[in-house]
Structure 1
Amino acid sequence: MPTKTIHIPMADGRADVFAAFPEHRGPVPGVLMYPDAFGIRPVLRDMAEKLAAHGYYVLVPNIFYRHGPAPLVALPAYIGEEARPDIVDRLMPLVHQHTAERTGRDADAYLRFLAGQPEVKDGPIGVVGYCIGGLLATRTAAHSSRVAAVAAFHGPVGTDGTDELAKITGRVHFGHAASDLTPQALNELNTALEAARLDYTSEIYPGTIHGFTMADTDAFDAVGSERHWEHLLALLALLDSALTST
């Protein structure tokens, strides 16, 4: 599986990004994969390569590039209960600085980069995000009509309000951790998605806690992770169909 680390010129500096794509194939659909706050690391590279093996060019950006290359803080191989609080405390100020306006500027650069790669098909792209990356994925989908499919897992989706959700034109899947969202809150979110006339699925993954897709953390849930892959691949199959029809 070909992979590379690249530096992309941005409005506010240069972003280090990780790319994975199939070998010996023609152009494939592009997918922008936003990581969680812990950023680019072995587990995210593995996830990008797994998705690329299904026939996608996957780009994973360092969302906090303004503050330095990834990883911004030293990460243990396994992020357990003892290590997590200190790491989160150090990263949360950066999360709060990542405004919707900043997300839009960055997304424009990432999408331009994808459009310029010979391995990427012209046309719509997919976006997926985890944790804070889920919010960035939904912001990107609201910002650009090029996004034909968007998925967010254990992310604070809906934070920017229903008006932003209504700007999304692509197909949506939201996979929520059971610890992040009550059934009542899910109903309220889904009512907003209905009002926005989105083509969506939005559900709580039973028995999961925040971060359940990340195999290098104590939040990981194998059943929830597999369910996430099933939903993500089914969603991106619709992206394949959209590209075929253009």
Structure 2
Amino acid sequence: MCDERQLADMARSPGAMNRRSFAALGGAAVLAGCTSAGEPAQAGDGVPGASGVLRSEVAIATPAGTADATFYRPAQGAHPAIIMWPDIAGVRPASQQMAQRLAAAGYAVLHPNPYYRSVKGQQFADFASFMGEEGFAKVGPWREKNTPEAVMADSKAFVAWLDAQDAVDTSRGIGANGHCMTGSWTFYAAAAAPERVKAAASMHGGGLVTDAPNSPHRIMQAGAMYLVCISQDDDAKQPDAKDALQTAAEAAGAKAEITVYPADHGWTVLDSPKYAEMEAERAWARMLEAFGGL
């Protein structure tokens, strides 16, 4: 997960994406004209097939209350399901665009609010707003509620909800995708519902290797696929993590692809100051490959 030093570095980045440049990507169009009735999502630049995707705002009962989420899926047929969590800045147009794009690739995508225990809906317009509004401090109390046990309970509830949807092909496995602080959540999802969650894709995820008994690398599941995309600066901070993950995967009988990318933390997120298109597309392609085996 990004820390305050990395946020300060992001703020100084000459390539920092502002609201105007993100809008040029079509991010604002993702939210236009969408209702809870499941109307077609609006096509935005860089979202091939978006016109064939439906979007609904949904509420899901969990042991902690009611989680608000967005459900994207192709307009026709049943498809493998994906739980796609946003990064530390939460649900916003950039993360919605990414979820919509994944649905356009042929998946039923649940995009939950990671902070539903504390607040509902969008809290920041974009990553620039997160940084400019002291977002790191603001989300701190919300983030503390997302213990490994809480994330696993949520994952079970999300899996049960997805399996009850006509748009989900329950004969196929479920995937999980997370960015930044939610990269580790993909491991918790696979551990919470190992009979259903068969692929976990962590994009610059933090806290994957710790000394805790329930460290993500200690709960890898036999037969599951783990795609771990590590940023070069995160690797520099914890160079032994990639080897520990590989060793843990082999011991658990899990499949793993663990790669350090020549890009900095946040490079896969559209509105991140560290967004690096070429390497983001490379990671995206590897994620589609991993989810293709569901």
Determine if contact 2:93/2:125 at 8 Å carries over to the other structure. no
Secondary structure of 2:165's partner? coil
Match of 1:166 among 220, 226, 229: 220
For residues 86-114 of structure 1, the C-alpha deviation after alignment (integer angstroms, 9 at most, x for no partner) is 21122133223311111111111101110
| CA gap 1:168/1:18 in 2 versus in 1, 3 angstroms | farther
Rg (Cα) greater in structure: 2
Q: Which residue of 2 aligns with 1:27?
A: 78
| CA gap 1:163/1:33 in 2 versus in 1, 3 angstroms | closer
Structure 1 residue 214, shift from structure 2 partner: 1.2
Matching of residue 9 in structure 1 with residue 61 in structure 2: yes
Structure 2: tracts of 5 or more residues without a match: 1-52
Matching of residue 65 in structure 1 with residue 116 in structure 2: yes
CA distance in 1, matches of 2:216, 2:179: 20
Pairing 1:65-144 to 2, within 5 Å after superposition:
65-71=116-122, 73=123, 75-79=124-128, 83=132, 86-123=134-171, 124-144=173-193
Q: Which residue of 2 aligns with 1:195?
A: 251
The code of the aligned residue for 1:177 comes to: S
CA distance in 2, matches of 1:127, 1:78: 22
Match of 1:54 among 93, 98, 105: 105
The code of the aligned residue for 1:232 comes to: M
Secondary structure of 1:216's partner? coil
Determine if contact 1:155/1:176 at 8 Å carries over to the other structure. yes
CA distance in 2, matches of 1:189, 1:27: 33
Moved over 4 A (4+): none
Q: Which residue of 2 aligns with 1:231?
A: 286
CA distance in 2, matches of 1:168, 1:68: 36
CA distance in 1, matches of 2:143, 2:131: 21
Mean CA deviation greater in 148-157 or 181-190: 181-190
Structure 1 residue 162, shift from structure 2 partner: 6.4
| CA gap 1:166/1:78 in 2 versus in 1, 3 angstroms | closer
Q: Which residue of 1 aligns with 2:203?
A: 153
Structure 1 residue 13, shift from structure 2 partner: 1.4
| CA gap 1:82/1:233 in 2 versus in 1, 3 angstroms | closer
Report the aligned-residue RMSD.
Answer: 1.9
The code of the aligned residue for 1:153 comes to: M
CA distance in 2, matches of 1:8, 1:45: 18
Determine if contact 2:184/2:216 at 8 Å carries over to the other structure. no
Secondary structure of 1:2's partner? strand
Report how many aligned residue pairs link the two structures.
234
Structure 1: tracts of 5 or more residues without a match: 240-246
For residues 174-204 of structure 1, the C-alpha deviation after alignment (integer angstroms, 9 at most, x for no partner) is 0011111134432233222222222110011
CA distance in 2, matches of 1:134, 1:155: 4
Identity of aligned residues (%): 29
